[in-house]
Amino acid sequence: MGPLSVNELISENTNLFLAFIIGIGFGFVLEQSGFSSSRKLAGVFYGYDTVVLKVFFAAAITAMLGLLFFSLFGWIDLSLVYINPTYLTSAIVGGIIMGAGFIIGGYCPGTSFCGASIGKLDALVFIGGLFIGVLIFDLGYNIWDGMYMAKFLGSPKISQTLGLSDGVFAFLLIIIALTMFWVAEWAEKKFPREEY
């Protein structure tokens, strides 16, 4: 059955229309969870507000489990679902640069659109920065395309790399997430907190 557009069960225009609807859900949930506030987002790095960690990991394990169950029930063909390729060098270096951008700017791309949609001017300026950053990458592409393409490993699953089945890895990740939720609750009691 799924993925619907890959199996051509829906037209390309229906796929784009559903992208818009899914985007509304994405933006709505982000805003409802407080991801429109940079001070709330940055809170996770100081322990005073760990909403980012809770929402992020709860979402990751929900979607991961959902995909595994959908596959088990024959509702989705996981071999047709895109698995992000692994270019080791750029995954690490890109992640480090994004991490610096996160603690300095207080947003990530998705949350900055969410913040701007309710009138946060700092989010709007962050979006301006995003465009400049992407443009710099484009203009200097010849300088860093070696690093961009380095250490290509294909599209391995982390479960394969660790020599585990998907189910066992999923179980371990849930245990890790629950442990982090417990630490997060402890940190919020320890560090003073206010709502932004």
Which of positions 100-129 make contact with another protein (CB under 8 A)? 100-123, 125-129
CB proximity list for 19: less than 8 A, separation 6 or greater: none
Closer to another protein by CB, 24 or 72: give it. 24
Shortest distance in whole angstroms from residue 36 CB to another protein = 6
* Contact between 130 and another protein per CB under 8 A: yes
Choose between 119 and 189: whose C-beta lies nearer to another protein. Answer: 119
* Of residues 4, 167, 148, the one with CA closest to residue 87: 148
Choose between 128 and 175: whose C-beta lies nearer to another protein. 128
Cis preceding-peptide flag for 3 (omega within 30 of 0): yes
- By CB under 8 A, the residues from 37 to 56 that bind another protein are 37-40, 42-43, 45-46, 48, 50-51, 54-56
- Of residues 58-77, those binding another protein (CB under 8 A): 58-64, 66-67, 70, 75-76
Say if CB 33 and CB 55 are below 8 A apart: yes
Q: Which two tokens stand for residue 131?
A: 């465009």
The residues in 5-24 that bind another protein, with binding defined as CB under 8 A, are: 5-6, 10, 15-24
Supply the DSSP symbol for 87: B
The partner residues of 6 in beta bridges, in order of sequence, read: none
Q: Can residue 183 be called a binding residue for another protein (CB under 8 A)?
A: no
Q: Is 136 in the site for another protein (CB under 8 A)?
A: yes
Structure tokens at 181: 């939720």
| Secondary structure class of 17 (helix, strand, coil) | helix
